[in-house]
Chains A and B, each alone.
Chain A
Amino acid sequence: MFRYVLRRLLLAVPVLLGVSICVFLMASLVPGDPATVLAGDTASAEQVERIRRDLGLDQPIPVQYLRFLERLAHGSLGESTRTHREVLLEIADRFPYTLALALGAVVVSTILGIAMGIFAAVRRGRAADYLTMGIAIVGLSVPTFWIALLGIIVFSLNLHWLPVTGARSPQSYILPIFALSLHSTAVKARITRSSMLDVLGQDYLRTARAKGLRERVVLLRHALKNALIPISTIIGLQFGSLLGGAFIIETIFGWPGIGRLAVQAIFNRDFPLIQGTALVGAVTYMLANLAVDIVYAWLDPRIRYS
């Protein structure tokens, strides 16, 4: 098990380097010269030149990349061009809010999705199955930001039950988490159903029933345990779409997370901050998948040897 974890960590290194190259290149691919943008419209040619030298922009690209890596190794991503604060600190302030949304959505979608999937699988081919799966595919197709806006119109603006924006009270988590978890719930419901149907056809379940076990025990102890294995990988993959979805949901709810931070940074053309959020987003996603893969290996000893 330890060796498996070690190998997975080592395999993540080249991808991480690739991600850092992509993120680094982002800034140089932007049309226009960052030094001119930074200096502002009123700057003289000498000022622009000084900024270019200070930032090392007069160096060749590979040298610039190595310097970027070196700074990164010291825990620095540069200063936000707007607030002049260290980008990593700026992100650290906001990150817990995004993580809370994403983890909340993971919990809600996993519980709801698995429940819907089991419910549909047990009633396969009956009205309840079609209804549940119908709800799932509608949930998969509806834009999350539309559901978020409907929620605001109904629950915040008309019923006044929930706040419209911000993250000040526990109630303010309800709408964002619900909207964010919509697609994941639908995906998990569909996968749980098919995975349960696979397992339900297996011989050992017939044996379990033949032993006289109650249906509840058969389903939850014997079937679900094995059906959960494919679902666990989806939880990791879904974490990526939750992080991405948070960019839109956070903008709607005025949520103080990294999604809204990144969107604002794009409008301000604050490139160190854009790079920082892209890097943190990719690394978080990678760690989430790594964690899920390790849990997966622990659940299913067969895959460790492959």
Chain B
Amino acid sequence: MRGSIRVSAIHSAAAVAVGRRPGTIVEFLRRARRSPPFVIGAALFLGVLLMAALAPVIGVQDPIAINIRERLEPPTMRHLFGTDDFGRDVFSRVVWGSQLAVRLGTLSVLVAVSGGIVLGLVAGYYGGWVDQLISRIFDLIFAFPYLLFAIAIVAILGPSLDNLVVALGVFGWAGFGRVIRGSVLSARQREYVEAARAVGARASRIMARHVLPNVAAPVIILSATRFGGALLAGSGLSFIGLGVPIPQPEWGAIMATGRDYMGTAWWVTVFPGALIAVAVLGVNLLGDGLRDLLDPRLRDA
């Protein structure tokens, strides 16, 4: 019962996104299969998700335990990606790091989307001074360069995964909020929204039933981009010591431990960075593919 509700929810969300009646998810997948960016992106992204899910099986060596006798060993069959300055297996650390990456990306996008939906809906639906106020907040967030904003928040709260999520998520409010506000403004003019208001539907019902489904496509596309952006910003900040603290196997933090040994032990910096590139490439391709599929007007944009 619960499963069928969920399936039907996915069903109708996809149907709305594709702009066709329910029951055409098969049709969506058939079109998606022919989009190379979507297929390659989905494969890479699923690979990262699988790695995160199977970390206990793949990364069998302890990602944190110190083993000084095997420090800075080059890649071998025993240590596929070599070892770092504390003798930790870089491969295991990279595998476990995928869990942190997925958590960082998912949570920061969730924070961004939920805040953006609330602020964007309220601003777009009520208009007037409420809209003015919220739009000025967006302006203010955008007045700071992206990473500078995140760095400022981390400087206040201190470096940790949760604070990174807050910093990257709050910045995302402005991006999602503006997109949603714009969609609401145009949806508000439509006859069916006016009709719903005329028959006495409450504001919350109108938003949930008639306005929100219209913003599904741009929100899904932006989510993919922001996921990749969060991975890049998060690992970059961890690399300079303003993100996830070092003993944790965050990809940027692993690279930071290899910085002093770049000349002799390149594997500590090169492999985690390559994983970041693959994961971000996956979501970026997925985003491109979804944009082509969900919003034909934006094709080639």
**Contact yes or no, A141 B228, CB < 8 A:** yes
Q: Does residue A22 face the partner (Cβ distance < 8 Å to B)?
A: yes
**Contact yes or no, B140 A157, CB < 8 A:** no
A22: chain B residues at CB < 8 Å are 140, 144
Q: How far is the CB of B244 from chain A (nearest CB, A)?
A: 15
Closest to A248 in B: B236
**Contact yes or no, A278 B147, CB < 8 A:** no
Q: Does residue B136 face the partner (Cβ distance < 8 Å to A)?
A: yes
Q: A137-B288, A141-B284 are in contact. Are A282 and B262 (CB under 8 A)?
A: no
**Contact yes or no, B239 A145, CB < 8 A:** yes
Q: How far is the CB of A277 from chain B (nearest CB, A)?
A: 8
Q: How far is the CB of A253 from chain B (nearest CB, A)?
A: 12
- Of B83-91, B148-156, B181-189, which binds chain A? B148-156
Q: Does residue A15 face the partner (Cβ distance < 8 Å to B)?
A: yes
Question: Contact mask A147-166 → B, CB, 8 Å, 1/0?
Answer: 00110110001000000000
Select one of A140, A244, A267, A274 contacting B146, CB under 8 A.
Answer: A244
**Contact yes or no, A286 B143, CB < 8 A:** yes
Q: Does residue A91 face the partner (Cβ distance < 8 Å to B)?
A: no
Q: Does residue A301 face the partner (Cβ distance < 8 Å to B)?
A: no
**Contact yes or no, A145 B155, CB < 8 A:** no
Total number of B residues with any Cβ neighbor in A under 8 Å: 46
**Contact yes or no, B240 A248, CB < 8 A:** yes
Cα A142 to Cα B282 in complex, Å, equals 11
Q: A143-B235, A145-B255, A244-B145 are in contact. Are A278 and B240 (CB under 8 A)?
A: no
Q: How far is the CB of B198 from chain A (nearest CB, A)?
A: 33
**Contact yes or no, A262 B273, CB < 8 A:** no
A143: chain B residues at CB < 8 Å are 232, 235-236, 252, 273, 276-277, 280
Q: Does residue A247 face the partner (Cβ distance < 8 Å to B)?
A: yes
**Contact yes or no, B242 A263, CB < 8 A:** yes
**Contact yes or no, A19 B144, CB < 8 A:** yes
A285: chain B residues at CB < 8 Å are 143-145, 148
**Contact yes or no, A30 B263, CB < 8 A:** no
A18: chain B residues at CB < 8 Å are 136, 139-140, 143
Cα A244 to Cα B240 in complex, Å, equals 13
B241: chain A residues at CB < 8 Å are 263, 267
Q: How far is the CB of B179 from chain A (nearest CB, A)?
A: 15
**Contact yes or no, B143 A15, CB < 8 A:** yes
**Contact yes or no, B146 A26, CB < 8 A:** no
Q: Does residue B118 face the partner (Cβ distance < 8 Å to A)?
A: no
B239: chain A residues at CB < 8 Å are 145, 248
**Contact yes or no, B301 A194, CB < 8 A:** yes
Q: Does residue B281 face the partner (Cβ distance < 8 Å to A)?
A: yes
Closest to A190 in B: B301
Question: Contact mask A128-152 → B, CB, 8 Å, 1/0?
Answer: 0000000001101111111001101
Question: Contact mask A266-278 → B, CB, 8 Å, 1/0?
Answer: 1100000010001
B136: chain A residues at CB < 8 Å are 14-15, 18
Q: A141-B228, A153-B262, A247-B151 are in contact. Are A146 and B277 (CB under 8 A)?
A: yes
User: Is chain B's interface secondary structure helix, strand, loop, or mixed overall?
Assistant: helix
Closest to B251 in A: A143
Q: Does residue B300 face the partner (Cβ distance < 8 Å to A)?
A: yes
Q: Does residue B29 face the partner (Cβ distance < 8 Å to A)?
A: no
Cα A251 to Cα B241 in complex, Å, equals 10
Cα A263 to Cα B239 in complex, Å, equals 12
Q: A157-B263, A247-B151 are in contact. Are A141 and B281 (CB under 8 A)?
A: yes
Select one of A137, A145, A194 contacting B300, CB under 8 A.
Answer: A194
Q: Which residues in window 172-201 of A have CB below 8 A to B?
A: 193-194, 197
Q: Does residue B107 face the partner (Cβ distance < 8 Å to A)?
A: no
**Contact yes or no, A146 B255, CB < 8 A:** yes
Q: Does residue B28 face the partner (Cβ distance < 8 Å to A)?
A: no
Q: Does residue A73 face the partner (Cβ distance < 8 Å to B)?
A: no
Q: Which residues in window 102-116 of B have CB below 8 A to A?
A: none
Question: Contact mask B123-164 → A, CB, 8 Å, 1/0?
Answer: 000000000000010011001111111011011111000000
Select one of B149, B154, B284 contacting A137, CB under 8 A.
Answer: B284
**Contact yes or no, A26 B236, CB < 8 A:** no
A286: chain B residues at CB < 8 Å are 143
Q: Does residue A29 face the partner (Cβ distance < 8 Å to B)?
A: yes
Cα A251 to Cα B189 in complex, Å, equals 50
**Contact yes or no, B151 A262, CB < 8 A:** yes
Q: How far is the CB of B295 from chain A (nearest CB, A)?
A: 13
**Contact yes or no, B145 A274, CB < 8 A:** no
**Contact yes or no, B143 A149, CB < 8 A:** no
**Contact yes or no, A140 B277, CB < 8 A:** no
Q: How far is the CB of B146 from chain A (nearest CB, A)?
A: 5
Q: A157-B262, A247-B148, A251-B240 are in contact. Are A149 and B273 (CB under 8 A)?
A: yes
Q: A146-B276, A248-B239, A251-B240 are in contact. Are A19 and B148 (CB under 8 A)?
A: no
**Contact yes or no, A282 B281, CB < 8 A:** no
B236: chain A residues at CB < 8 Å are 143-145, 248
Q: Which 8 pairs across A and B sit closest by C-beta, in order of nearness?
A: A244-B147, A146-B273, A240-B145, A141-B281, A244-B145, A141-B280, A157-B263, A18-B140
B contacts, CB < 8 Å to A: 37, 136, 139-140, 143-149, 151-152, 154-158, 228, 232, 235-237, 239-242, 252, 255, 259, 262-263, 266, 269-270, 273-274, 276-277, 280-281, 284-285, 288, 300-301
Q: List 11 A-B contacts (CB under 8 A).
A: A19-B143, A142-B280, A144-B232, A144-B236, A145-B255, A146-B269, A149-B255, A197-B300, A247-B240, A266-B155, A282-B148
Known contacts A145-B252, A244-B146; 7 additional CB pairs below 8 A are: A31-B157, A149-B262, A153-B266, A241-B146, A247-B240, A248-B236, A251-B240
